[in-house]
Structure 1
Amino acid sequence: MSDHIDQVSELLREVAALEILPRFRELTEGDIEEKSKGDFVTIADRNAELWLVPRLIEIVPGSRVLGEEATAASPELLSIVEDASPYWTVDPVDGTGNFVAGRETFGVMVSLVEAGQVRQAWIYLPVVDALAVAEEGAGAFWHANGAVERISTGRSPQDVSELRGAFNVRFMEETWRDRVELFADRVPRKSGYLCSAWDYTDLARGRQDLVTYHRMMPWDHAPGSLILKEAGGVLRNLNDGEEYRPSTLGAPHLAARDQESWERFAEAIRRSA
């Protein structure tokens, strides 16, 4: 793997130690804002993103950064996804609602996109001090407890009653939402993290079988898409079966541990009515 992997990995650990963990379960009322109903931002989100941006640009001179909080303030930044030049995606605190509530299920996510493709990806889970990294064509790796292991999704169970998944339907159009919810009723074990960082790392490590999404903001999905792919999994558009691209900002997507499972789950969802 390239030097970028280690450089960015250290940045994520450092920003968590400086800007995020000291505020975990220590937020005051003035540290929290609501961007829209149920969509929170904290001082930790803003400070962590501001800390990361110049350091990432220094690693790849000429690159730009598509950060969640900067884009919330200036939505025109999303036009970066149409550019072939390199850019970083940054989700400084993924799962902010969990962070605000004092739950441990939040993470820091970064990816490097070039020519419209995710080339490198990082997901750091600060409370458990675990890091997933991937580079296109070089595999995905899990760093935890002083050890590093290559990760693989493995295969999903054939029996629906043995599946574990997450079903995010909030932004889906009614037809897809109804189909997904009907299928979800058959899946007894649901993770419910409300955090892409935990969803994707669990999928990549074979700890859950499928996740559905619709709102496909790059900072939420670009890192996980590559880690999942390099571990053997897939993230595809339910409408046309096309592989996820950072430029696709909204469409029903299904993530699964392998292609065969994706086909099986997609067909079952489409037939749910």
Structure 2
Amino acid sequence: MSGTFDGLTVAISGGASGIGAAAADAFAARGANIAVLDLNANPDHWSQTCDVSDDHQVRQAVAAVAAHFGGIDVLVNNAGIGAVGTVEENSDKQWFRVLDVNVLGMVRLARACLPHLRESSAPAIVNTSSIAATAGLVKRALYSASKGAVHSLTMAMAADHVAEGIRVNCVEPGTADTPWVQRLLDQAEDPAAERARLEARQPTGRLVSAEEVAAAIVYLADPSNKALTGTALAVDGGMSGLRLIR
């Protein structure tokens, strides 16, 4: 697989940690130029400060990537934040904030990158959705709504841009072993018991690794997969489709 992305530039939002950082490493191992767009820098890759809730900052960051690398070929829309609660428990302020980052953040980045993607010989967008987009999870009303919107946004974008040769897909991870999930666990009354519960929820009996999700993102962006567009790829340990008798 080395050299698959030789000469291509991949912009990754939320690329300083977790799934985004794993994706940056995976693309780099295949020869890509990496541009991390994040509030924090990734010490292993070229980085540009970018708050996806700020349209002006998004446009400046994308312009900086294009100027530095000479263009943008792949956008990985990965930046996102979480929320815990039922529809009664999350305030309007929380709803606006999560939707602003998780959905509009992807819109802003895609909008800014599209002129550059149109100039690419291998353009692709991969959005990070979640198993929460299609599976009802307890106390994840707001987060699930945001990721359901990402799923639908992906399909609509794929339809809008297929004639331009720009492929748009999304990856839908199960509960992944990332710093963000660890922070959620740290807030639980019994972090060890909560982790065990999350592991048991997935048929494989373990959390999904960031590297496994990153491999799926690379697969969806791979320029040799020309027929892949409008695809939602679950990387969830079988959670979305398997019903096991235990």
**What is the TM-score when the length of structure 1 is the normalising length?**
0.30
**Structure with the larger strand share:** 1
Larger relative CO (CA 8 A, sep 6+): 1 or 2? 2
**Structure with the larger helix share:** 2
**What is the TM-score when the length of structure 2 is the normalising length?**
0.32
